[in-house]
Chain A
């Protein structure tokens, strides 16, 4: 097959001379090489725009982290000891009204508390005290009740741990510890 390179490396996409091109392409001729050059240049421009978007995201995370670090989480009473029997659980919100948490009382009477949002896709997790697990019904995720670490399913990060203190017949939340492992 002969290929016409006389017009700057192929004016038509298939490289054939103009006489061999279909009528519609002769009526609407496009300089294929120039088109390819402009397309690659614009692709580079689009990639740099994407790069700018990533930088905006990075600084957004950094600023959000700074705001969280400056915010305080004061100690607050979340339940009375008698309200949660051994093997039972209760829901409370800490530190803010949009932060649902799970207070669990183990069979030995000790208290544990975790954030209630699954670390996979933020579904509400459900305690199974008898099985020593906290389950996520959305994607069959499971966390260890004693540590909050993931045991099964898609979650990779442990549930946020709410630090507790029991004094004067009441349970107090002291702060939230987020963990990667």
Chain B
């Protein structure tokens, strides 16, 4: 049987998970500004691939958040 995490351990894990989430969100922000610049310049080929990459980032973020909430049930 797995031992539940202590609060200190959980806080450390949350800090660790926050790092990749923050990196992914900053990447999404860059992607949005680059796509908007391309769109306003008439280049619409990048819009759909960029949208799917952004969606992939969201799914990763949602997975990480789900992991954080899964910690609650183990304590």
Contact in complex: A157, B54 (CB < 8 Å): no
Per-position binary interface string of chain A over residues 1-42, scored 1 when its CB falls under 8 Å from any chain B CB and 0 otherwise: 000000011000000000000000000000001101100110
Q: Which residue of B lies closest to A52 (CB)?
A: B58
- Residues in chain B near residue A40, CB distance under 8 A: 11, 14-15, 18
Interface of B, secondary structure class, is helix
Cβ distance B67 to chain A, nearest Cβ, rounded Å = 10
Contact in complex: B32, A62 (CB < 8 Å): no
Once the chains are docked, how many angstroms separate the CA of A178 from the CA of B41? Answer: 5
Cβ distance B74 to chain A, nearest Cβ, rounded Å = 14
Size of the B side of the interface (Cβ < 8 Å), in residues, is 40
Contact in complex: B42, A179 (CB < 8 Å): yes
Cβ distance A75 to chain B, nearest Cβ, rounded Å = 19
Of A43, A58, A119, A160, which is in contact with the most chain B CB atoms at under 10 Å from its CB?
A: A58
Once the chains are docked, how many angstroms separate the CA of A2 from the CA of B54? Answer: 49
Q: Which of A63-71, A77-85, A104-112, A162-170 contacts B (4 or more CB under 8 A)?
A: A63-71
Task: Indicate if A47 sits at the interface (CB-CB under 8 A).
Answer: yes
Once the chains are docked, how many angstroms separate the CA of A11 from the CA of B50? Answer: 46
Cβ distance A179 to chain B, nearest Cβ, rounded Å = 6
Task: Indicate if A152 sits at the interface (CB-CB under 8 A).
Answer: no
Contact in complex: B18, A43 (CB < 8 Å): yes
Once the chains are docked, how many angstroms separate the CA of A39 from the CA of B25? Answer: 18
Question: Which B residues between 18 and 42 are near A, CB-CB below 8 angstroms?
Answer: 18, 21-22, 24-25, 28-29, 31-32, 35-42
Contact in complex: B8, A54 (CB < 8 Å): no
Cβ distance B20 to chain A, nearest Cβ, rounded Å = 10
Task: Indicate if A50 sits at the interface (CB-CB under 8 A).
Answer: yes
- Mark B residues whose CB is within 8 Å of A: 6-8, 10-11, 14-15, 17-18, 21-22, 24-25, 28-29, 31-32, 35-44, 47-48, 50-51, 54-55, 57-58, 61-62, 64-65, 68
Apart from A44-B64, A55-B58, A178-B41, 11 more pairs, CB < 8 Å: A8-B7, A8-B8, A47-B18, A51-B28, A54-B28, A54-B29, A59-B55, A157-B40, A160-B42, A178-B42, A179-B42
- Sample of 5 A–B contacts (CB below 8 Å): A37-B14, A44-B21, A54-B29, A55-B54, A64-B39
